[in-house]
Amino acid sequence: MKTIFFRSAAITALSLSLGLGACDDKLDIEPLQAIDATTALSSEDNVTSAVTGLYSSIGGSNLYGTNLILVPELMAADGYINFQGTFANYRQLARRTTNSENASAQGIWQAAYQTINQANLVIDALPVVTTAGLKARYEGEARFIRAAMYFELVRLYAKQYTPGTTNTQLGVAINLVPVKSPMEASVLGARATVEEVYTQVITDLTQASTLLPVNNGSRASRFTARALLARVYLQQSNFTAARTQANDVITNSGKSLSPTLQSVFTGRNTSETLLEIQQNDQNNAGAANTGLATLFSSIGQQGRGDVQVLTAFANQYEANDARGRSQLIYVGTGANSFSGQLRSGKYTTFGQNIPVIRLAEMYLIRAEAAFRAGDIPSALVDINRVRTRSGATTLTAPQLTLATILRERQLELAFEGFRIHDLKRTGTNIVTTGTPPVIIPITSNILVLPIPKRETDLNSNLVQNPGY
């Protein structure tokens, strides 16, 4: 009896240990709506998807989908636009009562750094891309997007770059290492100087402008990188370099102004744009609480009508200037439509594409740089090219001043995320509309976004901006 028992016990043990061996792999269950990060970028196809993911990220509502366009406008809203909505984060920005817990300041910071890490992961994964053309293109796209993010961060979270100085004021933390592990994700980086951040931006863009193809569909091409480079140099007041880049884009990109400005926003990927965020009815930056059309428009049941265009600003357009007339500026018919308040017609449908860089800006950069270099005739041609497209009268040489050029930028690029950045680089103070008007120095601390409190709480190496 006993032997039988021991025999069967032995077999039980054997079968249990067999089970052990056989069952280890029963524990390998893979997620199906996601893929494991350790192998996510292990093939060329996956890296291709990750590059698409980069564009998806910059189109999010914290980046070009909403905030990178809206926030620079709200930060210099005086005499221009009025924020009527209930969102405290936007109200604070428009009223200059921003604190370090502002949701937009936190959102932009988070999304930009998340995108930067994505770009770093793509660059890190390039060795698996074996198709030569693709490898260069992906590297170019990743560098372009990384540069765009650092440029936006340094413009928003640091004091303005001042040409001719060392620019040792604090910029933002630079991280070029792909972060994959909990240990890497716990590193506490410190802020680099503004000079260092701009250097990084220019390095990436310069490399991107050679890596990227001349034509890259609706994505960033060689000329998109150069157009952004022109914008970066302009922000540094490096007009010569800005003029060179803008000129190159205008001459060689094959882009041309669309027949109307309206069509740049209602159409998709028109001949004018160098970069557009692609959206459709299903996938967009939002239709309820986020998204440019949500916040700007007031059309029947659509839109919150949160951003009102002030009449004083609308009146700056000439009577025949299409940019100041319906549909580009219209009287709202939906939310907040009482008393005939004006709205911008640049953002009217949830699924429309969002132009980020367009050729008109290049003309305006080239005009400004030419004017500053004393080349009035060239400047005049470029300015008038932009004006005549919208039916505004042409300017004459005597009418052309730096002020008219900057005003033209304002009229052409209104609501596209340029305002505070232009005021900062030109040192133009903000004047409130109250009586008596108050002058807000453009170098004020409140005109720089706070480093999110959550971030300074977690990372003692991050120095908060003055005033927060």
Partner 1 sequence: MKQKFLLSLVWCLLLVTTAWAQTRTVTGRITDADGSGLPGVTVLERGTTNGVSTSADGAFSLTVQPNATLIVSSIGFNTQTIPVGEQSVVNVRLATNETVLNEAVVVGYGSQAKSEVTGSVTQLSSKDVENVPTVSFEQAIQGRTPGVTINQGSGKLGSGVQIRVRGSSSVTASNQPLYVIDGIPVTSQDVGSDTEPLNPLADLNPNDIESITILKDAASSAIYGSRASNGVILVTTKSGRQGQTKVNLGYYVGTSETTRRQEFLNAEQYKELFTEAADNEGYDAAEEFEASGLDINSDVDQKWSDEPFRKGKVAQYDVNVSGGDAKTRFYLSTTYNDQTGIIVGNRYRRGSARINLDHSITEKLRVGLNLSLTRSVNDRTPNDNAFSNPVQLNALPPIQPKIDPETNELNRNTLYYNNLIDLARGQNRAGTYRSFSNFNLSYQPIKNLTLRTEAGADFLNLNENLYRAAGTQDGGNTGYGFSNQVQVINYTTNNTAVYNTTFNEDHNVEALLGFSFQRSDTKETSAEGRGFPNPEFTKVASAAIKTAGSASEQTGFSFVSYFGRLNYAFKGKYLLSGSVRRDGSSRFGANNKYGNFGAGSIGWVISEEGFLQDNSVLNFLKLRASYGLTGNAEIGNFASRGLFLAVPYADQAGIRPSTVVGNPDLSWESTAQADLGLEFGFFDNRISGEIDVYEKKTTDLLLSRPLAFSNGYTSITENVGSLQNRGLEIALNTRNFDGDFKWSTNFNISFNRNEITSLAAPIQSQYLGSVRQGEPIGVFYGRKYAGVDPANGDALYFAEDGSTTNLASGAFLQKVGDPTPDYTGGITNTFSFKGFDLSVLGQFVYGNDIYNSAGIFQSANGDYFDNQTIDQLDRWQNPGDITDVPQARLYAGNGTVQSSRWVSKGSFLRVKNLTLGYTLPQTLAKRGYAQSARIYVSAQNLATITNYDGYDPEVNTAAFGQANFLIGHDFYTPPLAKTILVGINVGF
Residue of 144, 278, 116 lying closest to 222 (CA atoms): 144
What angle do the packed helices 44-58 and 103-125 form, to 10 degrees?
160
Angle at which helices 239-252 and 359-372 pack, to 10 degrees?
140
Partners of 302 in the β-ladder: 299
CB of 264 to partner 1, least distance (A): 17
* Contact between 378 and partner 1 per CB under 8 A: no
- Least distance CB 458 / partner 1 (angstroms): 5
Among 165, 215, 280, 443, which residue interacts with partner 1 (rule: CB under 8 A)?
280
Residues 221-250 binding partner 1 (CB under 8 A) are none
Nearer to partner 1, 217 or 398 (CB): 217
How far are the Cα atoms of 268, 418, 419, 423 from residue 362, in angstroms, in the given order?
19, 13, 16, 18
Under the criterion CB under 8 A, does residue 338 sit at the interface with partner 1?
no
Task: Evaluate whether 213 touches 196 at the Cβ level (below 8 Å).
Answer: no
Q: Which stretch binds partner 1 (CB under 8 A): 87-95, 274-282, 322-330, 393-401?
A: 274-282
Q: What's the Cα-to-Cα distance from 175 to each of 98, 146, 204, rounded to whole Å? A: 27, 10, 13
Using CB under 8 A, pick the residue from 25, 338, 396, 435 that binds partner 1.
Answer: 25
28 binds partner 1 (CB under 8 A): yes
Q: Does 1 bind partner 1 (CB under 8 A)?
A: yes
Min separation Cβ 277 and partner 1, Å? 8
b/e map 170-185, b = 16+ CB within 10 Å: bbbbbbeebbbeeeee
Asked whether the beta carbons of 219 and 141 are under 8 A apart, the reply is: yes
Residues 133-172 that bind partner 1 (CB under 8 A): 172
Q: How many residues bind partner 1 (CB under 8 A)?
A: 79
> Which residue from 99, 165, 252, 283 is in contact with partner 1, where contact means CB under 8 A?
283
**288 touching partner 1, by CB under 8 A:** no
CB of 127 or CB of 182, closer to partner 1: 182
Scanning 2-10, 194-202, 228-236, 323-331 for contacts with partner 1 by CB under 8 A, the matching segment is 2-10
Contact with partner 1 (CB under 8 A): which of 99, 128, 184, 214? 184
Pick one of 199, 237, 266, 278: the residue that binds partner 1 (CB under 8 A): 278
Taking CB under 8 A as the criterion, the residue among 458, 463, 466, 467 binding partner 1 is 458
- Range 67-126, binding partner 1 (CB under 8 A): 106, 109-110, 113-114, 116-118, 120-121
CB of 186 to partner 1, least distance (A): 7
Please give the residues from 34 up to 53 whose contact with partner 1 meets the rule CB under 8 A: 34-38, 40-41, 46, 49-53
Separation of alpha carbons 60 and 303, rounded Å: 18
Does residue number 182 form part of the binding site for partner 1 (CB under 8 A)? yes
Residue 15 CB, nearest distance to partner 1 (Å)?
A: 4
Least spacing, CB of residue 83 vs partner 1, in Å: 21
Give the tokens for residue 317: 């357009």
Assess 339 for contact with partner 1 (CB under 8 A): no
Among residues 290, 255, 271, 284, the alpha carbon closest in space to that of 353 is found at 284
Give the tokens for residue 455.
């971030």
**316 contacts partner 1 (rule: CB under 8 A):** no
What residue has token string 């949830």?
A: 350
Among 86, 181, 339, 435, the residue binding partner 1 under the rule CB under 8 A is 181
What's the CA angle centered on 403, arms 398 and 404, to 5 degrees?
55
Give yes or no for a cis peptide into 327 (omega within 30° of 0): yes
Report H helices in 286-401: 292-296, 311-314, 359-372, 376-389
State the Cα–Cα distance between residues 382 and 390, nearest whole angstrom: 13
User: Which residues, in sequence order, are bridge partners of residue 81?
Assistant: 309
Q: Is residue 433 a contact residue for partner 1 (CB under 8 A)?
A: no
CB of 98 to partner 1, least distance (A): 17
